[in-house]
A = this chain, B = another copy of it.
Amino acid sequence: MKATILYGPRDIRVETRDDPKILKPTDAILRLAASCVCGSDLWPYRGAQPAEKPTPMGHEYCGVVEEVGSAVKNVKKGQFVIGSFATSDNTCPHCRHGYQSSCVNREFMLGAQAPLLRVSNADGTLVATRETPDARYIPSLLAVSDVLGTGWFAADAASVKPGSTVVVVGDGAVGLLGVLSAKQMGAERIIAMSRHAKRQQLAREFGATDIVTERGEEGAARIRELTKGIGADSVLECVGTQESMWQAIDATRPGGHTSYVGVPHGVSLDGAKLFFTHVHLHGGPAPVRRYLPQLIDLVLSDRIDPGKVFDLTLPLEKVAEAYKAMDERRAIKALLTV
């Protein structure tokens, strides 16, 4: 099959690799309905997270089960399934607490920018739809697999409730879907921090009531101004830099909640400074598995359309252009036909 491999900074190639095989009795092989590029793929692409060897890329996926290992019981050949970037047995104590992305048997997915994919811990990872969904749902179901699941966790981890005032830091797909999630959870006011016209527009479509273009300390000051000096109840940090992290914390009211869902890069939090902010801080790799059934249902009942984050579609062979367009912020998120 054709597969996407990262060789080094900005050196992304499509090459022929062996089709994936069942390696463990708990594995499944999927034929993917489509694939896509994630904002988090840009960290290694930019060299901010060194890739030591040629790395198969891609961790967002949905598609049809081609084959299952001998121990797999919950999904079978021919079913349409959605999974998460972190595989999980869904039975260990961490899974039972809803933190499947810290499963004791967790494996992080690789290689989903390809037509075929091996998924470990298939029983605990994959959720099947009742029937094969119409093709028009594929972009949204692909979004559920990671960027919506992560935006939803961001809103949940920031304790968004009916009537909340919410701020979203970051206008990538996760941030935009954090806006959608906050809206679904009943937030009254949703302030999106963005300088990019197209993304501002989509944020408004997803439920943002205000747009703030200032950043860093100025951005946090502007949020306090908009909230009568109080700060927001819930702030979703969807970037992962030192500046965005403090922008989020400083925009939160004392006793409010800051969530962070992108792997922090070069972030260091001063304990004494954090102490006096009085915020609740929670985040980590999103336990998307916890939310899959609910989010799939919201998509298939036409109550949400997270697939709108895909504003560029390319064939797998043009994956390099997909990365480039996202790196240059010309595209929010690229869908790859496989």
Residue pair A281, B284 in contact (C-beta under 8 Å): no
Q: For window 249-283 of chain A, which residues contact chain B by CB distance below 8 Å? A: 253-256, 260, 263-272, 274-283
Chain-B contact segment, one of A91-99, A209-217, A317-325: A91-99
Interface: A230 (CB within 8 A): yes
Assuming A97-B253, A253-B94, A280-B280, is B269 touching A269 (CB within 8 A)?
yes
- With both beta carbons as reference points, the residue of chain B lying nearest to A92 in the complex is identified as B230
Q: Contact partner of A270 among B101, B104, B260, B268, CB < 8 A?
A: B268
Asked if A102 is at the interface (CB within 8 A of a chain B CB), the reply is yes
Q: How far is the CB of A240 from chain B (nearest CB, A)?
A: 8
Residue A285, interface by CB 8 Å:
yes
A206–B268 CA distance with the chains assembled, in angstroms: 36
Give chain B nearest CB distance to A262 CB in angstroms. Answer: 9
Does A245 sit within 8 A of B, measured CB to CB?
yes
Are the C-beta atoms of B99 and A255 separated by less than 8 Å?
yes
A229 to B260, CA, bound (A): 26
Contacts A97-B254, A254-B99 known; A275 to B281 CB distance under 8 Å?
no
Measured between beta carbons, the chain B residues less than 8 angstroms from A281 are 280-282
Chain copies in the assembly?
Answer: 2
Q: Which residues of B contact A265 (CB under 8 A)?
A: 271-272
Interface residues on chain A, size class: 35 or more
Does the CB pair A264–B271 fall under 8 Å? Answer: yes
The CA of A214 and the CA of B126, in the complex, are separated in Å by: 41
Cross-chain contact A272 with B276 (CB below 8 angstroms): no
Chain B residue numbers with a CB within 8 Å of A253 are: 93-94, 97
A278 touches B245 (CB 8 A): no
* Distance, CA A270 to CA B260, complexed state (A): 13
In Å, the complex CA distance between A130 and B264 comes to 52
- Interface residues of A: mostly helix, strand, loop or mixed? mixed
Check A94 against B254 for contact (C-beta < 8 Å). Answer: yes
Shortest Cβ gap from A228 to chain B (Å): 8
Bound together, the chains give a CA A265 to CA B263 distance in angstroms of 26
User: Is there an interface contact between A275 and B255, defined as CB atoms closer than 8 Å?
Assistant: no
Contact yes or no, A278 B274, CB < 8 A: no
Asked, given contacts A102-B254, A102-B255, A255-B97, whether A275 binds B268 with beta carbons under 8 Å apart, the answer is no
Q: Is the CB of A275 within 8 A of B283?
A: yes
CB-CB under 8 A for A245 and B230, given A99-B254, A276-B284: no
A182 CB, nearest partner CB in chain B, Å = 19
A278 to B86, CA, bound (A): 14
Q: Is the CB of B275 within 8 A of A99?
A: no
Question: Known contacts A94-B255, A98-B255, A104-B229; can you find 16 more A-B pairs with CB under 8 A?
Answer: A93-B253, A94-B230, A94-B254, A97-B253, A97-B256, A101-B278, A240-B271, A245-B271, A263-B272, A264-B271, A267-B270, A269-B271, A276-B285, A278-B285, A281-B281, A281-B282
10 A-B pairs in the complex with CB atoms less than 8 angstroms apart: A99-B254, A104-B229, A260-B271, A260-B275, A264-B272, A275-B283, A276-B284, A280-B280, A280-B282, A281-B282
